[in-house]
Structure 1
């Protein structure tokens, strides 16, 4: 650990780190990288559907469903980067590209999801303010368990075992939530967003049920959407699940709020690509507009700085990250597994 005299003491802890990151050029845009990435994803997306049409009535379509689940998730990562202005500096091109990829391409409401995701970034793992830890089905803290009833309470008892099976429904949940959000009074761009979503679903279901008989079509949908949901959920789960849950009593500065509630996942190029480079979750939360390919370069700078100022920085392997998340979910539901006291005993 560096001595305090060697640290830049101007401004907040985050401001000093931000200066290092800026001086290293890590907030600079990467237009060539994103141009190549978008071109590849467009080709793979169109090629996947061309293969689907070419194969016709075949059981091999289930392999296409698996491949398209991966493609849809990767497009989701690209839409995520657009939402954080990692690709373009201004709003308009980000909105246009995000709507095309999100609403039209994969059937997820880009405007709704971006708003929700920005709320998560502002208050990660906060019981009252982070929509990603609201107890809709899974409960994330013992306080939420105590207040739960109905389905969340039923699931919470053994929710660590339910977690991955429930992810098979995540894509459907996101589709439905995307449409429902557009009928709320605060919805923006209702016309364009709804038009693109409806167009996606008409083309998607129309193509699947035109090419395949009903039985195979339904099985294709189950495999494709189920794996799409599992992939998305499995990518975001290692980032915050099992990390501290914040309440109104917790008063943390920006840097600590982001670092202490996030977890990085170690890995090489394969892990980076498979997780959309969101395995550098700490760096991403500190600098959400940092282009994704720069996160790997920022990681050692952030880790070293956290060590210098005495802030815990957690980085694990992928399997261990799931283990920590699932153990947390199981511990949260422990009270519901205890036998009820015998009356009069």
Structure 2
């Protein structure tokens, strides 16, 4: 754990890391609460481009920390240390909103979960240090169960001791090889047999499987679990997400990490912000019903989910969001990488189908892939509890918002091991080939603390999506049509 009396660190201390150095303008402001009991100067003085604040003995209560929970004033706690991340949020690789979601809260478990190399990350936190929790304060907010938090942290330490966070590069190399072989096989079939109608179904199936499996591989590279060296992970993630799938890595990171830190929490999880097309959970339908909002006949949303939600998630919703984000935020590297996806398709399939035909092929493959990805990602979340922010501990937050699908060889392959969604959320940087090892330990911990550990057959999980949408629609209708 980092000590307050640590000596300041110069630029050379961060050499060799892959993230941009903290400039002078990103150092902590050291704001003190209006009625706080902190001692010493009201502002931390900083010097040097990456030096730590001067020796500080500021101590804060949870009540004081919780006042700093706005976008323009964000404090959070990691390992009892208090950090002002307001200025750093704009440079946070996971996006500014992820930090804002934990402003005024204990972020210790979230910090450990999302960063595979926490010791390096603490170097970036060091200039943002403004104090620590007062000795009489608990390590977490008072509404949290300290024994549950301690037990989960002990579970994580056990996983680390068992090397469960070490990736098997052979596993992921074979996965990448599978994708490349499918892509090559599709082109060879087309080259050998020509672009007759009989080859189109075979090529479509091969490319659809390749695209779906690419989605699962980019989950690993996106969560920094395949290659421990960030520079390699960065390149592989760009290759898989941008070149193989044609989507922006920055868009995915900023969106998906919000989902991971606050799953099924309004309005922090973007994955449940699907209005006005769909109403999910209990709160959205009631809100729309009370305001007498009816953009669509929501009573039929479980039916048009099959006609709209399944086929258009990837080719329309995700692609337009990705392109919009790249353009508005000027993600030039992503634009170049994504362009290589389309260039590759036009070079490979353009001679057979022409420009228009190749565009149709790309759209068609994404339409076929879309139901696969929609089912795999939504079956573990839409049927689960959705709520406003309740400031729960990390274990409870993840378990209540996710569920698992039963393990089998086919289920593991079909879902890319995301059938272990609970373990994936609790340990997002754990390589997915180890989820089955930690699952019994997680189940035991949930049983100890009375938390539900939901594990379903796959077909039931698929059906629960429509049943959950139908239930939400009924809630909306009861309130909307009442006189």
TM-score by structure 2 length?
A: 0.63
With over 3 angstroms needed to count, the CA separation of the structure-2 counterparts of 1:198 and 1:26, relative to structure 1, is same
Alignment of 1:292-331 (within 5 A): 292-331=432-471
**Residue 4 of structure 1: aligned partner:** none
Tell whether the 8 Å contact from 2:282 to 2:386 is kept in structure 1 after alignment. Answer: no
Alignment of 1:100-139 (within 5 A): 100-136=239-275, 137-139=277-279
Tell whether the 8 Å contact from 1:55 to 1:61 is kept in structure 2 after alignment. Answer: no
Residues 199-244 of structure 1 show CA distances to partners (whole Å, capped at 9, x for unaligned) of 3223325644531378976764554221111111111111111100
**Residue 3 of structure 1: aligned partner:** none
**Residue 16 of structure 2: aligned partner:** none
Q: Higher mean Cα deviation, 53-62 or 82-91?
A: 53-62
**Residue 328 of structure 2: aligned partner:** 184
Tell whether the 8 Å contact from 1:138 to 1:155 is kept in structure 2 after alignment. Answer: no
With over 3 angstroms needed to count, the CA separation of the structure-2 counterparts of 1:247 and 1:337, relative to structure 1, is closer
Alignment of 1:137-216 (within 5 A): 137-148=277-288, 153-154=295-296, 156-166=298-308, 167-172=310-315, 173-185=317-329, 190-205=331-346, 207-212=348-353
**Residue 5 of structure 1: aligned partner:** none
Structure whose residues are more often helix by fraction: 1
Alpha-carbon distance, 1:24 to partner: 2.6
Alpha-carbon distance, 1:246 to partner: 1.9
Q: Which runs of 4+ in 1 moved over 6 A?
A: 149-152, 213-216
Q: Higher mean Cα deviation, 329-338 or 232-241?
A: 329-338
Once residues 220 and 293 of structure 2 are traced to their aligned partners in structure 1, the CA distance between those partners, rounded to angstroms, is: 34
Once residues 184 and 216 of structure 1 are traced to their aligned partners in structure 2, the CA distance between those partners, rounded to angstroms, is: 29
Alignment of 1:56-75 (within 5 A): 56-59=194-197, 60-75=199-214
With over 3 angstroms needed to count, the CA separation of the structure-2 counterparts of 1:174 and 1:135, relative to structure 1, is closer
Once residues 445 and 282 of structure 2 are traced to their aligned partners in structure 1, the CA distance between those partners, rounded to angstroms, is: 33
Alpha-carbon distance, 1:55 to partner: 3.1
Unaligned runs of 5+ in 1: 1-7
Residues 128-180 of structure 1 show CA distances to partners (whole Å, capped at 9, x for unaligned) of 10010002422213432344599984153211112232221112122222111
Once residues 287 and 191 of structure 2 are traced to their aligned partners in structure 1, the CA distance between those partners, rounded to angstroms, is: 50
**Residue 413 of structure 2: aligned partner:** 273
Number of aligned residue pairs: give it.
Answer: 331
Alpha-carbon distance, 1:29 to partner: 2.2
With over 3 angstroms needed to count, the CA separation of the structure-2 counterparts of 1:97 and 1:19, relative to structure 1, is same
Once residues 160 and 277 of structure 1 are traced to their aligned partners in structure 2, the CA distance between those partners, rounded to angstroms, is: 26
Residues 284-341 of structure 1 show CA distances to partners (whole Å, capped at 9, x for unaligned) of 1110011110001111111112112221111010111122222111011114545946
Unaligned runs of 5+ in 2: 1-145
Bigger CA radius of gyration: 2
Once residues 271 and 247 of structure 1 are traced to their aligned partners in structure 2, the CA distance between those partners, rounded to angstroms, is: 32
With over 3 angstroms needed to count, the CA separation of the structure-2 counterparts of 1:335 and 1:180, relative to structure 1, is same
Once residues 294 and 183 of structure 2 are traced to their aligned partners in structure 1, the CA distance between those partners, rounded to angstroms, is: 36
With over 3 angstroms needed to count, the CA separation of the structure-2 counterparts of 1:63 and 1:340, relative to structure 1, is same
With over 3 angstroms needed to count, the CA separation of the structure-2 counterparts of 1:25 and 1:155, relative to structure 1, is farther
- Counterpart check, 1:81 vs 2:220: yes
Alpha-carbon distance, 1:20 to partner: 2.7
With over 3 angstroms needed to count, the CA separation of the structure-2 counterparts of 1:207 and 1:106, relative to structure 1, is same
- Per chain length, whose mean CA-contact separation is higher, i.e. which structure has more relative contact order (CA < 8 Å, sep 6+)? 1
Alpha-carbon distance, 1:26 to partner: 1.4
With over 3 angstroms needed to count, the CA separation of the structure-2 counterparts of 1:193 and 1:235, relative to structure 1, is same
- Counterpart check, 1:228 vs 2:228: no
- Counterpart check, 1:18 vs 2:156: yes
Once residues 304 and 450 of structure 2 are traced to their aligned partners in structure 1, the CA distance between those partners, rounded to angstroms, is: 37
Tell whether the 8 Å contact from 1:57 to 1:213 is kept in structure 2 after alignment. Answer: no
